[in-house]
């Protein structure tokens, strides 16, 4: 399965249920809150440092997502993408890559139009059966609890960059 991740040049992530635990929190003013995992964030930074471009395609619209993407220097962000297939086509053109160079990580049926078009599709264990069935890899960790980090390290391992990335922390 690592051979499927070897050619990933652009890794795309859903947000709710992947980068978060999927719970939606609101304060008394009706403002949405999300909890992001710092280990996932560092995994994204490490992966980007190897030259893999990063993208988000999410069906929801949230200022929090844009703040997180800006903080992590995620290259492309598509929010409010109710038809993720259209966002994916737009992303391919913007990033100058083909579908064969992409990976996608999702957790629900809204993600299937992209998951079925990439050679490296990832799901989290809490995903519905049909989503896990269409995934090439199902993470051990749950969304919002290290699943993104797991995938980032998996890609770096497949591409032979993980040891070099980790070596800089062992000097």
Binding residue positions for Mg(2+): 14, 107
Sequential DSSP letters for 130-164: HHHHT-SEE-SSPTTTTHHHHHHHHHHHHHT-HHH
The first and second tokens of residue 38, run together, are 């710092």
- Residue ranges of the annotated binding site for substrate are 16, 45, 60, 68, 84
Nearest-angstrom CA–CA distance, 26 and 3: 41
Host H or E run for residue 5: helix 2-6
**Cα(67)–Cα(98) distance, integer angstroms:** 27
Spatial distance between the Cα atoms of 142 and 21, rounded to a whole number of angstroms: 7
**Helix-then-strand count for the chain, H and E:** 8, 8
What sign results for the dihedral spanned by CA atoms 3, 8, 12, 18?
positive
């Amino acid at each position: 399965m690592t051979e499927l991740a070897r050619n990933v040049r652009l890794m795309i992530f859903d947000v709710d249920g992947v980068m978060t635990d999927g719970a939606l929190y609101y304060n008394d003013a009706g403002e949405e809150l999300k909890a992001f995992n710092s280990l996932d964030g560092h995994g994204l930074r490490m992966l980007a440092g190897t030259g893999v471009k990063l993208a988000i395609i999410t069906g929801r619209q949230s200022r929090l997502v844009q703040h997180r993407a800006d903080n992590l220097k995620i290259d492309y962000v598509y929010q409010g993408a109710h038809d993720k297939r259209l966002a994916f086509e737009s992303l391919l053109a913007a990033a100058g890559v083909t579908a064969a160079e992409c990976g996608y990580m999702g957790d629900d049926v809204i993600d299937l139009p992209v998951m079925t078009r990439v050679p490296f599709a990832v799901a989290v264990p809490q995903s519905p059966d049909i989503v896990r069935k269409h995934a090439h890899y199902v993470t051990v960790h749950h969304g919002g609890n290290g699943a993104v980090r797991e995938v980032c390290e998996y890609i770096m391992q497949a591409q032979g960059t993980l040891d070099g990335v980790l070596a800089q922390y062992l000097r």
